[in-house]
C-alpha cells in the first residue's frame, strides 16, 4: 500500500470509530465528541485527496470550510445541551422523549 | 513514512479512548487527537489548515467542551440502546464499503492542473463558500446569543416573581 492509501484507510477508520461512538453513546456530550471524531476523519481524507491530485490549496480551502461549519455546529450543540440539562435535568438522549408528542 | 504511520496509529488510539472514556476525559483525548491530526496535516503540506486545526480543534473546542461539561455537571454514562454487536456490524459494513470504494481508485488519481495559491483559492475561487461561512458564523452567534438570552430569562422567572406592568391589576 502507498502512504496515500494508508492515510486514507486511517481517515476511514477514524470515521468508523466516530460512527461507532455515535451509535453507542447516549450521553449528549459524548455524541458531540463522536461527531467531532467523524469530521476529523473526513477532513483528513480531504487533505489526503488534495495531496494525491496535487491540489493542496484547493483541499485546504475546502478543509477550512469544514472546520468553520464543524465549529459552529459544535458550539450550537453544546449551547443546546446546556439548555436541555437545565430544563430536563438529564443528558441521556433516551430520556428526551418529549419531542415524540 | 514510519513516523506518519505512528501518528496515524496514535490518532486512532486517541479516537477509541475518546469514545470509551467519560465526557471530561474524552474531551482531553479529543484534544490530543486534534493535535495529532494537525501534525499530520502539517506533514502532508497543509500548513495553514494545520495551524487552524490546532488552534480551533485542540484549543477552542476543548475549552467549550470543558465549559459545557462543567455547566452540565453530568458524568453518568448510560448504557447503549443499540446492541454493541449490531453497532460493530454497522460500522464494519460502512467502513468496509468506504475502503472498497475509495482505495482502488487512489493509485489512478491523476495530477490535475497547476494549483492556485491558497489566498486565491479562498478569496476568489471559493468566494461563495466564504460568504456562506460568514452567514453561518453570524447565524451561529445569533443562535448562541438567543440561547443565552433565554437562559437569563429563565433564571429571572425561576428565582424572582415576574414584575407587573404599570397599570396591571
Q: Over the stretch A50-85, which tens digit does the pLDDT of each residue have? A: 888 888 888 999 999 999 999 999 999 998 998 888
What pTM value is reported for the model?
A: 0.84
The answer on pLDDT for B167 being more than 60 is no
Question: Which residue in A9, A30, A56 is closest to B115 by CB distance?
Answer: A56
Residue A19: pLDDT band by 50, 70, 90 thresholds?
A: very high
Q: Over range B60-87, report the average pLDDT.
A: 82
Task: From chain A, pick out residues whose CB is under 8 angstroms from the CB of B87.
Answer: 20, 23-24
A88 touches chain B (CB under 8 A): no
B28 touches chain A (CB under 8 A): no
Cα A23 to Cα B30, B84, B142: the distances in Å are 18, 9, 30
Q: What is the pLDDT of residues B78-121, one digit of tens each?
A: 777 778 888 888 888 888 888 888 777 766 666 666 778 888 87
> Percent of chain B at pLDDT above 90?
30
Q: What is the pLDDT of residue B112?
A: 65
CA B113 to chain centre: 32
Q: Which of A46, A44, A58, A59 has the alpha carbon at shortest distance from A10?
A: A44
Amino acid at each position: 500500500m502507498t502512504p496515500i492509501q494508508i492515510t486514507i484507510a486511517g481517515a476511514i477508520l477514524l470515521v468508523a470509530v466516530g460512527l461507532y461512538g455515535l451509535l453507542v453513546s447516549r450521553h449528549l456530550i459524548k455524541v458531540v465528541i463522536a461527531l467531532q471524531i467523524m469530521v476529523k476523519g473526513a477532513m483528513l481524507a480531504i487533505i489526503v485527496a488534495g495531496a494525491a491530485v496535487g491540489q493542496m490549496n484547493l483541499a485546504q480551502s475546502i478543509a477550512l470550510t469544514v472546520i468553520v461549519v464543524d465549529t459552529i455546529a459544535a458550539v450550537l450543540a453544546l449551547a443546546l445541551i446546556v439548555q436541555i440539562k437545565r430544563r430536563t435535568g438529564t443528558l441521556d438522549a433516551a430520556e428526551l422523549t418529549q419531542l415524540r408528542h | 513514512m514510519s513516523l506518519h504511520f505512528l501518528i496515524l496509529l496514535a490518532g486512532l488510539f486517541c479516537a477509541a479512548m475518546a469514545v470509551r472514556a467519560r465526557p471530561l476525559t474524552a474531551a482531553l483525548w479529543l484534544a490530543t487527537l486534534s493535535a495529532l491530526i494537525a501534525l499530520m496535516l502539517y506533514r502532508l503540506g497543509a500548513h495553514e489548515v494545520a495551524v487552524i486545526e490546532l488552534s480551533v480543534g485542540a484549543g477552542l473546542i476543548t475549552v467549550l467542551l470543558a465549559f459545557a461539561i462543567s455547566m452540565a455537571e453530568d458524568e453518568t454514562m448510560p448504557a447503549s440502546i443499540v446492541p454493541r454487536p449490531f453497532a460493530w456490524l454497522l460500522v464494519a459494513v460502512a467502513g468496509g464499503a468506504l475502503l472498497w470504494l475509495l482505495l482502488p481508485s487512489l493509485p489512478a488519481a491523476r495530477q490535475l492542473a497547476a494549483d492556485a495559491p491558497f489566498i486565491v483559492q479562498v478569496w476568489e475561487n471559493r468566494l461563495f463558500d466564504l460568504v456562506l461561512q460568514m452567514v453561518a458564523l453570524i447565524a451561529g452567534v445569533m443562535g448562541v446569543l438567543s440561547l443565552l438570552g433565554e437562559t437569563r430569562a429563565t433564571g429571572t422567572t425561576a428565582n424572582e416573581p415576574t414584575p407587573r406592568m404599570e397599570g396591571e391589576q
